Amino acid sequence: MLLWGERKECVERLVQAKELTCNNCGFDDLEAYEAIFPIYEADVLDVTLKCRNCGAGNPLWLPPKEYWRCGFDPEEAMPELDET
């Protein structure tokens, strides 16, 4: 899901607090772009960060304590199964 609003701002504050930099150019201004709960790893939120300098994608995995703080709920992300 693409990130916007309060969730995006919250993730970007976490990124700033962790003092993360771009894996490609070393720039320290990363935009929270999208997030997904991977099917294979339900206890993390897989976030893609985009560097505002070079545009490279940078991965970030948030543990439950951090993704709950930003308003993410794994139950919302799971599609309901049609049991018919």
Q: Which domain holds residue 35?
A: 5-76
In a domain, 81, yes or no: no
In a domain, 30, yes or no: yes
The CA distances from residue 2 to 33, 55, 78, 82, in Å, are 6, 16, 16, 25
Q: Is the pTM of this model over 0.85?
A: no
pLDDT of 43 reads: 86
In a domain, 21, yes or no: yes
Strongest mean pLDDT among 31-40, 53-62, 74-83: 53-62
Structural domain total, the chain: 1
SS3 62: strand
Over residues 28-38, mean pLDDT: 93
